[in-house]
Chains A and B, each alone.
Chain A
């Protein structure tokens, strides 16, 4: 099983560029999450989704957008990249409430 797959693994953006971080899972999980982790800091929740067509803001949603058109995919969009968005981004999924999270291997993003 592939589990949770994130692409790309690394990316360098210029200020003002846009990009989409891809996240897909093949476990038919309803719940999906996007986190960012700055160096030496904890995980911060950006957005999450409890099913196709449903998305909600997390702790730090500003500067990001998400969509959930299918159960498998939960892309994260950066419209106008800023240096403050330099971080490692993790996508995670779980089948339902009260279950453990399955994480992707992360995307390291630098905005210069």
Chain B
């Protein structure tokens, strides 16, 4: 099983809609999780850290489900500018400090 798995999409969503996608992870020792956003051929940029209690930042909500080993990202009232690839990553508590990214989920917001 891959360390991090995401549905590659693309998700084609009309502007104003709510969209959610998940990311599953295999390492149950992972402690820290992050969602990054990547625009075409640009460097990834941090969107949100994911805390055990869940966290919200404006239209974005991130949740962590340790029992099922997945994290989720919910985008409300989607904007055209939300079109991007969303990458999730988990950190490991092992002495191995590799950071392995999922392939990302492509999101297209349609006017």
Contact = CB atoms under 8 A, between A and B. Distances in A.
Given A33-B99, A41-B103, A105 B31 contact: no
Contacts of B96: 56
Contacts of A42: 87, 101-104
Contacts of B15: none
Contacts, number: 55
Interface residues of B, number: 23
A99 B101 CA distance: 15
Counting chain A residues whose Cβ lies within 8 A of the other chain, the interface size class is 20 to 34
A97 B95 CA distance: 10
B44 A43 contact: yes
Interface in B17-44: 31-32, 34, 36, 41-44
Contact of B45 (A48, A88, A103): A103
A50 B89 CA distance: 18
Interface of A: 31, 33, 35, 41-43, 45, 48, 50, 56, 58-59, 88, 90, 97-101, 103-106, 108
Interface of B: 31-32, 34, 36, 41-46, 49, 87, 89, 91, 96-104
